[in-house]
């Protein structure tokens, strides 16, 4: 089974944990002083929040249940004609995982991964640079954007 993974940097872990617990109607499956993760069946998502990353969406990904699914995803990413970087036995986010990283054409970091076991510490492994990948797109945070008048409509039509 594959589930969407979203990792969000937060400034206030307690406030963010309370928000996502209320939103999903479930407590985090992993909770640390600097990190929380919800691995949900409904909706099928692996949402992680952590201190230390820039606020906002850090990266997106696909979390898979076994090594064969990771091989399949890596092959599909290779076929997409975007550069990829493999990361074996990464220690990150309180887990040991094998990963494949890429950036989409807009520069958004994507991670395909299979976590094998949990760890007691956050870990120090970072996403490797993806050669020939577009740089991440930087956008001003909402707080940096001047107040503009709004028609009150939805963002997506």
> 2-140 is classed in which CATH architecture?
Roll (3.10)
The residues near 123 (Cβ < 8 Å, ≥ 6 apart) are: 90, 91, 92, 93, 94, 95
Q: Is residue 84 a contact partner of residue 128, using CB atoms and an 8 Å limit?
A: no
In terms of pTM, does the model score above 0.85?
no
Please classify residue 29 by burial: count the beta carbons closer than 10 Å to its beta carbon, then call 0-12 exposed, 13-18 middle and 19+ buried.
exposed
DSSP 129: P
pLDDT tens digits for the chain (157 residues)? Answer: 789 999 999 999 999 999 899 888 999 999 999 999 999 998 899 999 999 888 999 899 999 999 999 999 898 888 887 788 999 998 988 889 999 998 887 788 889 999 998 888 888 777 777 765 544 444 333 333 333 434 444 434 4
Enumerate the domain spans of the chain.
2-140
């Amino acid at each position: 089974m594959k589930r969407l993974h979203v990792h969000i940097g937060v400034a206030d872990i307690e406030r963010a944990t309370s928000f996502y617990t209320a939103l999903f109607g479930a407590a985090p499956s992993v909770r640390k002083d600097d990190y929380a993760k919800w691995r949900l069946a409904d909706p099928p998502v692996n949402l992680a929040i952590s201190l230390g990353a820039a606020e906002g969406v850090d990266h997106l990904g696909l979390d898979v249940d076994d090594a064969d699914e990771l091989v399949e995803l890596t092959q599909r990413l290779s076929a997409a004609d975007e550069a990829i970087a493999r990361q074996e036995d990464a220690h990150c986010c309180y887990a040991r995982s094998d990963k494949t990283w890429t950036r989409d054409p807009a520069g958004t970091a994507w991670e395909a991964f299979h976590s094998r076991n949990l760890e007691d510490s956050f870990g120090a492994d970072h996403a490797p640079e993806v050669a020939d990948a577009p740089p991440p797109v930087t956008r001003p945070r909402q707080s940096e954007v001047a107040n503009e008048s709004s028609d009150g409509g939805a963002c997506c039509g």
